[in-house]
Amino acid sequence: MARWARIITSASNAEVTSITASEMGAVTNDSTVVFHRSSPNEKILATSSLYFKTTNGGQLYFDNLGLAATELFISGVADGISNNSQPVFYNVDTTALSRTSSLFYNSSTNTLEFLGTFSGSFTGDGSGLTGVVGTMEYPLVNGAGIVSASATDLDFSYDGTTEVQIQVYTASNGGLTFEGGGLRLTESLAGEGLAWQQQYSQLVVGQGPGITITAGGIRLANGVAGDGLSYTGGTLDVKINPSGGLYLPSGRIALTSSLAGEGLRWANNFWKLEVDPDYVVTSSNVISFRTGSNNLTLTATNATPISDGYTANLIDEPTFTYDVSDNLVGNFTINGNFTLTGANTIFSGSQINFEGKVQSNHPFLILNSGSSTGDGGFAVQTSTGGGAYLFFDYQANRWGVSKDNFTFPVDSHSVTGSNRAAINTVRVTTDTEATIISSTPVFGHTDDTRMGQVVVKSNQSANESPLFIYA
């Protein structure tokens, strides 16, 4: 007789009648050591770094250290760090623990003190170091405009051993000089087109060919002219080359006769370009729309009916409209998206094929519509004439699946049949254990069709397994 039974999960408690272990397992090389922990909860624990080494005489070794258990020792108080205590280090060559003879802990200042000399390399930002004198690997030396403050030593260099002041050096012919603690221009800057004013603090622009200065401003001289330019009485005139497509009639700019050509013609004495009608749509151009199918209805405005459609002049601005008939006749192939709308869209026929992705905006598809009994489901074709089924067994009241070796079509399936199986179901509940055990599974009419269903208790107590299976 089938019943609900609890499934034991990891970290859950369980009451069992007995436990039989046929073999505890041989201790092999690198086996993890297991310890009994007296508290809390008297658990059995395994370390992540302590291993049993059968290849080294059956010793216990610490992983990543190479130390045997016989080589580890603790003397004194492990946490009692007193004044002049010596740090202990791991020796990678001898795999033993050793200590230095010159590094001590000073408990009064809470610092490590090193006695002796230092050799090797030092890295860090050096903050907090005082009284350190050394030679820089890359000393500062003089460059352009940088000299020593000493009047007798113009070369500047700094290696960090002594204090040196620097100053900015300016050459008298360099354009800048110091005066009264400030920086000013030198007298060597004056030259052609430039003149001094107010003792080397201001430069003025001299007049030259083509430039005149009036009222503090710069203007063109009367003699300025060139190709296409003339200057008379303060006005700069622009010449226009007639062969360039523009000319000046009556003080205005107009197009030249050379611009007319294929597709363009003149109007209004070269002021206006018009499009040649030989190159555009005119009143003589006609467009026709026809239909050769009874499934399409063509209507038009500003058009003349013909035997299979309409014709019209484009200049009359006709409009044409195609409508699909309510009843389509014949075979159709639709390449692209196709949308059917309606409260009750029905596809009828002995076989309806959809090639491509089928989508429905309704949350549920109704299969076996109009029937009160019988099986139903989905089939996936995996060969020329057959495939696999996802089905509902009406007689067993159970969902099931089949293998892919069934020939199409198969209208009836059994979850207990050959090459078929029932789908496992899971029900989540807050019922008590007694209520769960006394209940009947949701699916199936008999015990052989109810097997395998699972109930999950969502409010289980601590360390209690929440799973029940009907078996």
> Rounded to a whole number, what is the largest CA-CA distance in the chain?
124
Quick one: 287 and 261 in the same domain? no
What pLDDT, on the 0 to 100 scale, is given for residue 17?
65
Domain count, the chain: 3
Does residue 246 contact residue 253 with C-beta atoms inside 8 Å? yes
Quick one: 288 and 272 in the same domain? no
What pLDDT, on the 0 to 100 scale, is given for residue 70?
58
Quick one: 340 and 285 in the same domain? yes
325 within a domain of the structure (yes/no): yes
Which 8-state DSSP code applies to residue 160? S
Of the candidates 367, 313, 362, the one whose C-alpha atom is nearest the C-alpha of residue 340 is 362
Through-space distance between the first and last CA atoms of the chain, rounded to whole angstroms? 8
Measure the CA–CA gap between 450 and 398, rounded to whole angstroms. Answer: 8
312 within a domain of the structure (yes/no): yes
Q: Which amino acid is at 55?
A: T
What pLDDT, on the 0 to 100 scale, is given for residue 442?
93
Measure the CA–CA gap between 164 and 180, rounded to whole angstroms. Answer: 24
Quick one: 271 and 289 in the same domain? no
293 within a domain of the structure (yes/no): yes
- 3-state per-residue secondary structure call for 281-304: CCCCCEEEEECCCCCEEEEEECCE
CA atoms within 13 A on the CB side of 84: 2
39 within a domain of the structure (yes/no): no
What pLDDT, on the 0 to 100 scale, is given for residue 430?
94
Distances (CA, A) of 153 to 6, 71, 136, 157, 166: 97, 67, 21, 10, 11
Q: Which amino acid is at 297?
A: T
| β-strands 194-197, 96-99 pairing | unpaired
Residues 401-420, buried b or exposed e (16+ Cβ, 10 A)?
bbeeebeeeeeebbbbeeeb
394 within a domain of the structure (yes/no): yes
Quick one: 252 and 308 in the same domain? no
384 within a domain of the structure (yes/no): yes
* Structural domain range at position 267: 246-276
291 within a domain of the structure (yes/no): yes
66 within a domain of the structure (yes/no): no
Quick one: 287 and 342 in the same domain? yes
CB burial of residue 303 (10 Å; 0-12, 13-18, 19+)? buried
Quick one: 332 and 381 in the same domain? no
Q: What is the CA radius of gyration of the chain?
A: 51
Q: Which residues of the chain have pLDDT under 50?
A: 78
Measure the CA–CA gap between 95 and 92, rounded to whole angstroms. Answer: 5
Quick one: 289 and 309 in the same domain? yes
Quick one: 269 and 292 in the same domain? no
Quick one: 262 and 299 in the same domain? no
Q: Is the pTM of this model over 0.85?
A: no
What are the DSSP E strand ranges found in 54-193?
Answer: 59-62, 88-91, 96-99, 103-106, 111-114, 140-141, 146-148, 157-158, 166-168, 176-179, 182-185
Quick one: 290 and 267 in the same domain? no
